[in-house]
Amino acid sequence: MEHEDFSGLSKGKLKSLIKETEEVLVLLKEELQKRKLDKQHEEIDHLEDHLKEAEPHLSTIKAFIQKIIEDSKKT
């Protein structure tokens, strides 16, 4: 970012710029939070799809663990 020379600005103008900057910062933070929440809602909306995709893998893992338990009982 380019640095500007603010030395010629009055104290009142500097305070005004600071206030405007803080207001813009609040708006930017709100927008970022909104996007984050929108993304979370989108992921939740697709949670069922993710679970369906994971289900075959989970049953494989479950069978593997059951096999390990059975084998450990035999020894």
* Residue 5 counted as domain residue: no
- What pLDDT was estimated at residue 3? 76
* Residue 62 counted as domain residue: yes
Query: Tens digit of pLDDT for each residue in 8-32?
Result: 999 999 999 999 999 999 999 999 9
Q: What are phi and psi of 60, to 5 degrees?
A: -65, -45
* Residue 56 counted as domain residue: yes
- What pLDDT was estimated at residue 23? 98
Number of domains in the chain: 1
Is the model's pTM score more than 0.85? Answer: no
CA–CA distance, 46 with 72 (Å, rounded to integer): 39
* Residue 1 counted as domain residue: no
Query: Tens digit of pLDDT for each residue in 35-75?
Result: 999 999 998 988 888 888 888 888 889 899 999 999 888 86
